[in-house]
Amino acid sequence: MRQGIPYFGSMQIRVAGHCRALLLYALCALAGTAAAAPLQAQWSFRLLPGDPQLQAHPGLDAWRPARVPGSVHDDLYAAGVIGDPYVGAAEAGLQWIGLAAWEYRARFDVDAATLARRHAELRFDGLDTFAEVSLNGRPLLEADNAHRTWRARVDGRLRAQGNELRVVFRSPIRTLLPQVQAMPHKIAGNYPSPYGDEPKDAMVGNFARKPAYHFGWDWGPRYVTAGVWRPVHLDSWDQHRITDLAVRTDALDDQRARLGVLLQVEQGATVGRASVAVDVLDPDGHRVASLEREVTLHPGQNTVQLPLEIAQPRRWWPVGYGAQDRYTVQARIDGGGDPAREAVRRTGLRTVELRREADADGGQGFAFVINGVPVFAKGANVIPFESFPARVTRERLRRDLQAARDANMNMLRNWGGGYYESDDFFDITDELGLLVWQDFMFGGGMQPGYDPGFRANVVAEARDNIRRLRHHPSIVLWCGNNEEETAWKDWGHGRQLKDADPAFAARVWQGYVDLFGTDLRAVVAEEGLGVPYWSSSPGNDLDAKANDSRRGDKHYWDVWGGPALPATAYLRETPRFMSEYGLQAWPQLSTVDAFARRDEQQIDGAVIRAHQKFMAGQGNERLLHYIEREYGTPASLADFIYLSQVMQAEGIELAALHHRASRPYTMGSLYWQLNDVWPGASWSSLDYFGHWKALHYHARRFFADVAVAALRDDDGVTRFRLLNDGRQPLTAQWRVRVMDVAGGEFARQQETITLAPMAATAVADLVDADLLKGHDPARSVAAFELLRGGEVVARRLVHFVPAREQALAAGQLRAELVANGGDYRLRLHADGLVRAVWVDFGDTGARVEDNAFDLLPGETRELRVDADARLDALRAALRVRTLGDTLHAASTSPHDPASTPRTR
């Protein structure tokens, strides 16, 4: 049965923690909120009277209840006007929403204490996007940037009862299209609409400071939404208030931390004196530093800088390198007592460097150095968690970010086509020790940087978000954009415009340099507290070549994209830092069930194609190209899904281990992508509901601090390296065994070795003939292992032929589920070689501790199963897939042309 996609309500703040520092932080939330609380109001919305869309949708100009923060799509869905935007093939029928103008109304009262204060301000944390705001019938502000914080003074304009706030949202398409169509030559956009709501030759997304993915991407739908997408606050204060608090680390070592506390204080109309006090609490809540000073405040904004020192500081480290200790800094003016005169920041003490050492041959490194220690970055790219951001809860973020850490990741790249993430996101990355590469919100194409007004808008956006987020120690890079420089230089965007209009092309490029080479760099230098800036990804900070394996960071898409090379091509691409690479896979069948009925689940069916965004729905044929190359043709949709996940996991593992084995030349491997914006096919390792694909289980192994990289290329050579990301040497034994797929070992070698810390140790390069010793490659497998105390701590299997040619028999795995005290255990025994075990308990909610692994002949493994269901229900639901069973079924079953696409 078709299931509706769950609606995630607005974010909830939960007070958690046990020490006074945490409690104070939870109560005060962020510095500069100044008696701020989300506006308590009754919200409603309607289609703006007189809008042309009323002809096709009569009656929508009547007021209906709305949720703020929210979006017009969610409000229409809640009102029953539209169906679930994620279910079926709804997208084409909902494009009218992005062409309409919408009006939101809030009615609210104001308490006497607020009215009694001298100053009041309405703060809008997110208006999407072209908005006209009025209060009690009088214009208040006009907004044109969904990424900015908008403020308006409302001194003397509030009343005790019956205030009415109105926000009209204009269609970004209708607002911008006339000026874009009037351009004699267009700058390159991103993804043209297939639905006719916007001309394909006049895309407006690059001109709108709105999340770019709302206009559609190759992993998510086109929903050009609108609304009050982040909270509205009513702030009030008297003589002065703290508007910002930042902590700059000026010096840091084991003995001391020298800090600069930076306060922004807004003063009223007259010069005044004030007492400023600062306390620093250590991670346990003990006061370790204090300072008090008299200052003179002038009307308007004042910057107050205060020096502080901490003895024996506890530094913040990325996961795997040390603890994630954080300090709490409290500031007060005139003794506090009023939230407007108090501010709190919780931050970690760490240093960050982007090390760019030059090579003798003209190359240049790219490595993150935290607290003086080079860190190999292991992780993934993050896209938005929803098409409608207000749905995202702290619990949702926690689920996926914890999964990243559980897969041994230490870095995430926040991609530039979405939005600047919430404070909750960064609170969690701080806690988990996940480094964050933060793009500014430019996802592709080219921007109108030649327009000074556009650039000024972006600078204000950057300043807002850097100030909001800069106290988070997890942020270690601000990057200007995603793929705009390489698109101009390498994809033909620049060449085509130069051919059409050389003078305009020169203006466009100079605008790019001004925005990403100068403006954003300056804002990061002024506001970023020492975090480095990088102008574009991929790039070399405006060097001649934009996507260079020898210098800067690299996006590599010759596998999957472009010529669709086999996954072994990853082994011949060795960058300094791989910031994007990826292979697609479908999510598990239960996720597909959430948006498609079983009778709609044909690979070439309308609903399935609607949830496959690559190549306008043709991505399944690209998937089949990769599946058939290694595994053969799947017999059913279920097999297609399973094999897509096996292919994705094995291909990305090959790349990631190659990157790690190339350390220190290569110092990062971030695959595309961690998460999903909706349920469908994509490059993610976590699906929309948080289910781990096979890739995520593999990532937990190939990103482990200690791992085996045995990488066989098409030349028949296996390069054997051992990886140790730990900060101490490791003494262990390596072992190589070569055996028949049915059992029987015909070669073994084992030696003791000491692995250098934070390094890849080369063991040997082995040709097939030396490993096989005349045995049939189709019946052979080599196991490369690392052992400590006789136990295998890491393993990688090497196969000598594609899986479709390997002698994998069916029925080689025996499974037994048993009760074990208060939990369950699944015992698996392999009679022969078993590849790509996949354990599934259906809709019982049971979770197995590991999945997507191989077993050697004669091997037994026992897995813990967490479940609330009864043993008999679990046994009935249990399904175990293996590659051998699946390939055998494919070779003996007739293929349904409607179920399996053909390559073209």
What confidence tier does 809 reach under pLDDT thresholds 50, 70, 90?
very high
- 33-37, 263-267, 626-630: least confident range: 33-37
Residue of higher predicted confidence among 759 and 4: 759
Contact indicator for 484, 444 with CB cutoff of 8 Å: yes
3-state SS class at 208:
coil
Set out the domains of the chain in order of their start, with CATH numbers.
Answer: 239-337 (2.60.40.10), 377-594+667-701 (3.20.20.80), 706-805 (2.60.40.10), 813-881 (2.60.40.10)
The whole-model pTM stands at: 0.94
Q: What is the pLDDT of residue 337?
A: 81
Closest by alpha carbon to 549, among 717, 365, 727? 365
Q: Of how many residues is the chain composed?
A: 904
Task: Name residue 404's amino acid.
Answer: A
Q: Which residues contact 327 (CB under 8 A, 6 or more apart)?
A: 280, 281, 282, 283, 288, 310, 314, 346, 347, 348, 349
Distance between the two ends of the chain, CA-based, in angstroms? 33
Contact indicator for 250, 349 with CB cutoff of 8 Å: no
Beta-carbon neighbour count of residue 185 at 10 Å?
12
Contact indicator for 849, 864 with CB cutoff of 8 Å: yes
As a whole-number percent, the residues of the chain with pLDDT over 90 amount to 91
Closest by alpha carbon to 514, among 453, 463, 466, 464? 453
Cα angle 773, 768, 742; round to 5: 65
pLDDT for 839-886, tens place per residue?
999 989 999 999 999 999 999 999 999 999 999 999 999 999 999 999
What DSSP line would sit under 411-479, residue for residue? EEEE-TTS-PPPHHHHHHHHHHT-EEEEE-S--SS---TT-HHHHHHHHHHHHHHHHHHTT-TTEEEEE
Beta-carbon neighbour count of residue 896 at 10 Å?
12
What confidence tier does 14 reach under pLDDT thresholds 50, 70, 90?
very low
- On the question of pLDDT at 623 being above 80, the answer is yes
**What are the residue ranges of helices labelled H in 2-45?**
20-28
Place of tokens 């502080």: 308
- On the question of pLDDT at 8 being above 60, the answer is no
**Bridge-based pairing state of the strands 127-128 and 227-228:** antiparallel
As a whole-number percent, the residues of the chain with pLDDT over 70 amount to 95
pLDDT for 757-795, tens place per residue?
999 999 999 999 999 999 999 999 999 999 999 999 999
Beta-carbon neighbour count of residue 300 at 10 Å?
10
pLDDT for 307-350, tens place per residue?
999 999 999 999 999 999 999 999 999 987 888 999 999 999 99
Closest by alpha carbon to 885, among 841, 847, 832? 832
Q: What is the pLDDT of residue 854?
A: 98
What DSSP line would sit under 510-560, residue for residue? HHHIIIIIIIHHHHHHHHSTT--EES-BSBSSS-S-SS-SSBSBEE--TBT
526/510 Cα distance (integer angstroms): 23
